[in-house]
Amino acid sequence: MQSVLEKLDIADESPGVFCGEWRGGGGKIDKISPIDGRKLASVRTASAEDYEAAISFAHEAFLKWRVTPGPVRGETVRRLGNALRDAKHELGQLVTMESGKIVAEGEGEVQEMIDICDLAVGQSRMLYGLTIQSERPNHRLMEQWHPLGVVAVISAFNFPVAVWSWNAALAAVCGDATVWKPSEKTPLSAIAVTKIAERVCRETGADPAIFTLLIGDRKTVGQKLANDRRIPLVSATGSVGMGLNVAKTVHGRLGRTIMELGGNNALVVAPSADIDMATQSIFFGAVGTAGQRCTSTRRVIMHESVASKVRHKLLAAYKSLPIGNPLDKKTVMGPLIDKNAVDLVQHSIQRLKDEGGEILYGGERLSVPGDCYMKPCLATAKPDFDIVQHETFGPLLYLMTYRDFDEAIAIHNNVPQGLTSSIFTNDVREAEKFLSVVGSDCGIANVNTGTSGAEIGGAFGGEKETGGGRESGSDCWKSYMRRQTNTINFSSELPLAQGIEFGAGAGSGTA
């Protein structure tokens, strides 16, 4: 562990604020690894003075960065991607040490950062507008996109670095500066990434404050970001409760938000499904990252004809699951983020029992140093259980059945969240209906692949209580810019739109 920290320039005590310089006048966080309860390092958080300095420096950096040509901005992001490639192994190890996700997932998260940098570099030459046919002669109607300003990025512990990159890489090529408030549960990964970004900016001549870091609590940092009129866009990932608070504040000042909130993701197993593929996807979706992904599979809706077979295969997989130190490559499921996370899952399991659900396997807390481990829980439930309507952020999977396809869709959609969804079927009509307007009501809907593991090329996000935001690929770059519509008259007359004549006798030309 120590060698990884040294390679990433993480000291025993590090300042948690960067705005062109490193500082931290607030309280101290001791980062304890969920793997074994050992202290990794300490971080000095932001004070009120640090906050003001950070936003001021970020705004000054934006004023210079916005007039830098897009392809030149893309060069800084290209070099950032290469620097992340060079540090992939160490950063992946640090993500594992801080969050508890297995090494393959830790390095996979860093690969997401690299991939989004590659996408953003290409986008830096394609920040395109439109030329529109004008109804008036000798007029050109067009739209263009301008940099927006300082973008706040509030990220969660389960993806301690990737979510920042989804926002920051695109915001950077769009001409914006970012202010990053990472989870206080994973501060070291944020510091390591920011130090890499700082080094790259100094090499390219970009103002390092375009990638500002503010580690601190809700009162000192989070609420201030939401209230700050100097920040036109807040991108927030986390719980529905957190999102509601942020959205009310930001929208109260008519600012913009990108919300990536809770998921209660379901996977439908149809009679024609490839059962082996379906169960493999369910297994990864349910226990990957110890069930702490917003895209984790939380509900399995099985046709009665295949329910017994699916249940049998899942039980076999759960019973053979290697649980332990996530730094060991043989481990498939590591710890949850902290003891409180385990407590919350235990509480949900008890609520499930109280409503009449049956525990088929697991759910027990494990006696391991750090007290952050548990066996994943496989259970039966009914769609109308109150606990099923809520997202339990951990390895708790509900199995339920259906008779006809319309019933499956109704069960699937009957939750407040709407992030990601999946169906396993070889019936083309079922597949198409699932993807149609009367099918899945989620922002992401998949056929014959699981709920978890989205590619960066597509827009990522969901509907309903998931927040409606979109990040990453497709045309999400537009969220980080402001649209401007332009009319250019190259005639010697002044015709009005819609053929309106106004004050025809006044002045020269056509009114």
pLDDT per position as a tens digit, 310-363: 999 999 999 999 999 999 999 999 999 999 999 999 999 999 999 999 999 999
Among residues 221, 160, 220, which one has the least CA distance to residue 185? 160
Catalytic, out of 117, 201, 294, 372:
294
Q: Mind giving me the DSSP string for 236-257?
A: EES-HHHHHHHHHHHHHTT-EE
pLDDT band at 505 (very low <50, low <70, confident <90, very high): low
**3-state SS class at 3:** helix
pLDDT in tens, 247-259: 999 999 999 999 9
Q: What is the pLDDT of residue 2?
A: 85
Instruction: Compute CA distances 76 → 18, 21, 119, 132, 464, whole Å.
Output: 18, 19, 13, 33, 36
In the numeric block, which tokens belong to residue 26? 């607030």
Among residues 273, 267, 313, 246, which one has the least CA distance to residue 427? 273
Q: What is the pLDDT of residue 1?
A: 78
| Integer Cα distance of 54 and 17 in angstroms | 8
Side-chain-facing half-sphere of 197: CA atoms under 13 Å: 31
Q: Look at the alpha carbons of 306, 311, 316, 318 in this order and tell me if their dihedral is positive or negative.
A: positive
Q: What is the pLDDT of residue 481?
A: 98
Specify the pTM: 0.96
**CB of 181 within 8 A of CB of 132?**
no
The three-state DSSP-derived secondary structure of 377-435 is EEEECCCCCCHHHCCCCCCEEEEEEECCHHHHHHHHHCCCEECEEEEECCCHHHHHHHH
Q: What is the pLDDT of residue 504?
A: 57
Q: Say whether 260 is catalytic.
A: yes
Q: Say whether 198 is catalytic.
A: no
In the numeric block, which tokens belong to residue 286? 């349910």
pLDDT band at 507 (very low <50, low <70, confident <90, very high): very low
Amino acid at 148: L
pLDDT in tens, 276-313: 999 999 999 999 999 999 999 999 999 999 999 999 99
pLDDT of residue 110 exceeding 70: yes
Residue % of the chain over a pLDDT of 90: 97
**CB of 377 within 8 A of CB of 349?**
yes
User: Stretch 185-205: mean pLDDT, rounded?
Assistant: 98
**3-state SS class at 106:** helix
Catalytic, out of 75, 109, 112, 260:
260
**Pairing, β 265-269 against β 297-303:** parallel
Residues in CB range of 144: below 8 A, 6 or more apart = 129, 483, 484, 486
pLDDT of residue 509 exceeding 50: no
User: Stretch 381-393: mean pLDDT, rounded?
Assistant: 97
Residue with tokens 């301690």: 160
Side-chain-facing half-sphere of 26: CA atoms under 13 Å: 23
* Residues paired with residue 301 on neighbouring β-strands, in sequence order: 268, 400
The three-state DSSP-derived secondary structure of 139-191 is EEEEEEEEECCEEEEECCCCCCCHHHHHHHHHHHHCCCEEEEECCCCCHHHHH
The rounded mean pLDDT for the chain is 96
| Integer Cα distance of 135 and 188 in angstroms | 57
**Pairing, β 139-147 against β 177-181:** unpaired
**Pairing, β 358-361 against β 150-154:** unpaired
Among residues 135, 147, 149, which one has the least CA distance to residue 484? 147
CA 510 to chain centre: 53
Q: What is the pLDDT of residue 511?
A: 38
- DSSP single-letter state for residue 137: T
Residue with tokens 């290409």: 122
Residues in CB range of 173: below 8 A, 6 or more apart = 70, 73, 74, 77, 120, 121, 123, 124, 127, 477
Residues in CB range of 424: below 8 A, 6 or more apart = 267, 268, 269, 270, 273, 274, 277, 278, 281, 447, 448
